[in-house]
Amino acid sequence: MLTVAELFATDTLITAEEREIRDTVAAFTDRRIRPYIAEWFETGSFPVREIAPELGKMGVLGMHLEGYGCAGLPATAYGLACQELEAADSGLRSLVSVQGSLAMTAIHKYGSEEQKNHWLPDMAAGRTLGCFGLTEPDFGSDPGGMRTRARRDGDDWVLNGSKMWITNGSIADIAVVWAKVDVNGKDLVRGFLVPAGTPGFTTREMTRKLSLRASITAELTLADVRLPASAVLPGAEGLSGPLSCLSEARFGIIFGALGAARDCLRATIEYSRTREVFDKPLAAYQLTQAKLADMALELGKGQLLALHLSRLKDRGELTPEQVSAGKLNSTREAIAIARECRTILGANGITLDYPVLRHANNLESVLTYEGTAEVHQLVLGKALTGASAFR
């Protein structure tokens, strides 16, 4: 029997070092995540404080960043790590994405030397947790409409507003908060580092989620939050600041979502070989095989595309449109695979005894955050036609 990786010979496209990193992350998830993930998902919890230092030790937090205690590894290695993390659970990959690709990337790209030295080494080690506050209750796909504002008061900044759906928002030590400032009568988006416990800064964990349950999501409220002049990220001016961080996180999702799909397909093939219906294994029916073959094709094609895009990124040639194409393809195909796998598992597929519906439910969030599927269709539509259809 062949795995999808063997069918497409994808291992021949990665180096021995990349394979070693991938296998290290896979072994970690086998030991530290898989035995417990169903329970964490069921109870809507995740021991972030316990797991983050272990992720730090493995070098996956800010893995693609150079210096300041970060591993400085190529994009392909980071992508393969994301694939293994998300094969365990999208919540785990979200933790790594938010910490490394969003919060740490914002500081690494746009922070002062002092900010980088102060925050990044502890964040890379998983001792300090970050979150990334862009989305607001009324502005998700259109973050440029944000209402959170920062005004100058002497040397200080004073922030007011609210952020919603912020991963790790209620447990983070440092929040990267994006807010509008007035520059000569014009609004400009700037990034601010808001330490937990700053007076006026409160958070509330969002509950009753049916997706990404093994991940903490929170609302942030900023009521006259006074910050020193040094809290602003000096290098980020305009919406391109947060958007460039999102592009980094989307890249991880291109690989990550396919990890969830791979795990669904693995569990489903295993199940179909032992489950007997009408006196023979489910796997021996043509209808089942057609489904499995089609899913293997989409998974393999997605993985080839992901590897192609990561090589472009390693060469510094990856464009935002290509990231959109990868994010759209991976999330859309992954959720389709997860749902199709669920049909093969029948009633068993709706339980947490199998990973399939957990992954499918998680992928609802993955399809939506970091730019919805529709937003990425619009990005591609604009690139193909030259006409912007966002408004």
Catalytically active residues, by annotation: 370
- 176 phi-psi bin (left φ>0, alpha ψ -120 to 50, beta other): beta
Is 101 in contact with 251 (CB distance < 8 Å)?
yes
Q: Is 141 in the site for ligand FAD (CB under 6 A)?
A: yes
Residues 165-194 that bind ligand FAD (CB under 6 A): 165-167
Q: Is 390 in the site for ligand FAD (CB under 6 A)?
A: yes
User: Strand ranges (DSSP E) for the chain?
Assistant: 130-133, 149-153, 156-167, 174-183, 186-195, 201-205, 217-227, 276-277, 280-281
Q: Is 365 in the site for ligand FAD (CB under 6 A)?
A: yes
Q: Is 374 in the site for ligand FAD (CB under 6 A)?
A: yes
- What is the closest distance, in whole angstroms, from the C-beta atom of residue 12 to ligand FAD in the complex? 35
Instruction: Return the number of other C-beta atoms located less than 10 Å from residue 237's C-beta.
Output: 16
Q: Which of 132, 157, 192, 354 binds ligand FAD (CB under 6 A)?
A: 132
d(CA 13, CA 75): 14
Q: Is 77 in the site for ligand FAD (CB under 6 A)?
A: no
State the DSSP code for 208.
-
Of the pair 81, 166, the CB lying nearest ligand FAD is at: 166
- The residue type of 367 is L
Residues 81-120 that bind ligand FAD (CB under 6 A): 98
Q: Is 388 in the site for ligand FAD (CB under 6 A)?
A: no
Q: Is 380 in the site for ligand FAD (CB under 6 A)?
A: no
Of the pair 213, 342, the CB lying nearest ligand FAD is at: 213
- What is the closest distance, in whole angstroms, from the C-beta atom of residue 98 to ligand FAD in the complex? 5
Q: Is 129 in the site for ligand FAD (CB under 6 A)?
A: no
d(CA 314, CA 127): 28
Binders of ligand FAD: how many residues, by CB under 6 A? 20
d(CA 131, CA 134): 10
Is 346 in contact with 274 (CB distance < 8 Å)?
no
Q: Within 13 Å, how many C-alpha atoms sit on residue 251's CB side?
A: 31
- Among 6-14, 148-156, 197-205, 373-381, the segment contacting ligand FAD (CB under 6 A): 373-381
- What is the closest distance, in whole angstroms, from the C-beta atom of residue 375 to ligand FAD in the complex? 5
- What is the closest distance, in whole angstroms, from the C-beta atom of residue 93 to ligand FAD in the complex? 12
Residue 192, both tokens? 């601010």
Write the binding mask 211 to 250 for ligand FAD: x where contact by CB under 6 A, - elsewhere. -x----x---------------------------------
Strand partners, 201: 222
Q: Is 128 in the site for ligand FAD (CB under 6 A)?
A: no
Q: Is 134 in the site for ligand FAD (CB under 6 A)?
A: yes
Which helix (H) or strand (E) is 325 found in, with range?
Answer: helix 320-345
User: Strand ranges (DSSP E) for 235-357?
Assistant: 276-277, 280-281
**Residues near ligand FAD (CB under 6 A):** 98, 132-135, 140-141, 165-167, 212, 217, 365, 368-369, 372, 374-375, 378, 390
